[in-house]
Amino acid sequence: MKFSLSWLKSHLDTDADAKTIAETLTRIGLEVEGVDNPAEALRPFKVARVLTAIRHPQADKLQVLSVDTGDGQPLQVVCGAPNARAGMIGVFGGPGTYIPGSDMTLKQASIRGVESNGMMCSSRELELGDDHDGIIELSGDAPVGASFAEHAGMDDPVFDVAVTANRPDCMGVHGIARDLAAAGLGRLKPLDVPVIEGNFDNPVAIRIEDPAGCPAFFGRTVRGLQNKASPEWMQRRLMAAGQRPISALVDITNYVMLDLGRPSHAYDLTTLKGAIVARKARPGETVLALNEKPYALAPDMTVIADDNGAHDIGGIMGGEHSGVAEGTTEILLEIAYFTPERISLTGQKLALTSDARSRFERGVDPAFLDDGLAILTGLILDICGGDASRVTRVGSPPIVEKRVAFDPALTRALGGIDVPESEQRSILERLGFRVDGEVAIPPSWRRDIDGPADLVEEIVRITGYDNIPLTPLPRAPGVAPPTATRSQTAERRIRRAAAARGFDEAITWSFISDGDAALFGGAAHIVANPISEDMKHMRPSLLPGLAAAARRNADRGATAIRLLEVGRRYLAEGERPTVGLLLSGDRSPRGWQSGKSQKYDAFDAKAEALALLNAAGAPTANLQLTMGAGDSWHPGRSATLGLGKAVLAAFGELHPRIAQALDLPAGTVAAELYLDAIPAPRVSGRTRPAFAPPALQPVSRDFAFVVPEGVTADVLVRAIRGADKAIIADARLFDRYEGEAGLSLAVEVILQPGEKSFTDAEIGEVSAKIVAAAAKLGATLRD
Partner 1 sequence: MSDVPRKLPAIAEIEKAPTLEVLEGLRVETLGKNGSVTALLKSLGSMSDEERKTQGPIIHALRATVTEAIAARKSTLEDAELDRRLATERVDLSLPARNIPKGSVHPVSQVMDELSEIFADLGFAVAEGPEIEDDWHNFTALNIPETHPARAMHDTFYLEAAEGAEPMVLRTHTSPVQIRTMMSEAPPIRIIAPGRTYRSDSDATHTPMFHQLEGLVIDRGIHMGHLKWTLLTFLKAFFERDDVVIRMFPSYFPFTEPSADVQVGWSFEHGRRIIGGSENWMEVLGAGMVHPRVIANCGLDPDEWQGFAFGCGIDRLAMLKYGMTDLRAFFDGDLRWMRHYGFSFLDVPTLSGGVGA
Q: Are 281 and 298 in contact (CB under 8 A)?
A: yes
| CA distance to 691, 698, 706, 707, 722, per residue, from 730 (Å) | 19, 10, 20, 20, 10
d(CA 412, CA 341): 34
Closer of 23 and 209 to partner 1 (Cβ): 23
Smallest distance, partner 1 to C-beta of residue 621, A: 24
d(CA 310, CA 150): 47
Smallest distance, partner 1 to C-beta of residue 299, A: 17
Going by C-alpha positions, the residue among 724, 686, 712, 731 that lies closest to residue 777 is 712
d(CA 557, CA 305): 66
Smallest distance, partner 1 to C-beta of residue 313, A: 16
Q: Please write down the long-range contacts of 681-689, taking CB distance under 8 Å and 24 or more positions apart.
A: 681/617, 681/619
Closer of 227 and 424 to partner 1 (Cβ): 424
Closer of 309 and 667 to partner 1 (Cβ): 667
CA torsion sign for 337, 338, 341, 344 is negative
Smallest distance, partner 1 to C-beta of residue 362, A: 6
Smallest distance, partner 1 to C-beta of residue 757, A: 35
Q: What H or E segment, with its residue span, contains residue 551?
A: helix 543-555
d(CA 678, CA 487): 9
Closer of 393 and 446 to partner 1 (Cβ): 446
Smallest distance, partner 1 to C-beta of residue 141, A: 46
Length of the chain: 783
Closer of 110 and 485 to partner 1 (Cβ): 485
Closer of 345 and 518 to partner 1 (Cβ): 345
d(CA 753, CA 770): 16
Closer of 475 and 776 to partner 1 (Cβ): 475
Question: At residue 465, what are phi and psi to the nearest 5 degrees?
Answer: -60, -25
Closer of 87 and 502 to partner 1 (Cβ): 502
Smallest distance, partner 1 to C-beta of residue 265, A: 21
Amino acid at residue number 114? V
Residue ranges with strand state E in 126-171: 158-162
d(CA 127, CA 141): 23
- What letter does residue 465 receive in the DSSP assignment? G
d(CA 406, CA 416): 16
Write down the H helix ranges in 652-750. Answer: 656-661, 713-721
Taking each helix axis as running N to C, give the angle between helix 713-721 and helix 760-776, from 0 to 180 degrees, rounded to the nearest 10.
140
Closer of 156 and 608 to partner 1 (Cβ): 608
Smallest distance, partner 1 to C-beta of residue 585, A: 11
Longest dimension (CA), the chain: 131
Question: At residue 713, what are phi and psi to the nearest 5 degrees?
Answer: -55, -40
Smallest distance, partner 1 to C-beta of residue 530, A: 7
Give the 3-state secondary structure of residue 398.
coil
Smallest distance, partner 1 to C-beta of residue 326, A: 35
Closer of 298 and 750 to partner 1 (Cβ): 298
Walk across the sheet containing 699-707 and list its strands: 728-739, 742-751, 699-707, 780-781
Closer of 118 and 340 to partner 1 (Cβ): 340
Closer of 23 and 133 to partner 1 (Cβ): 23
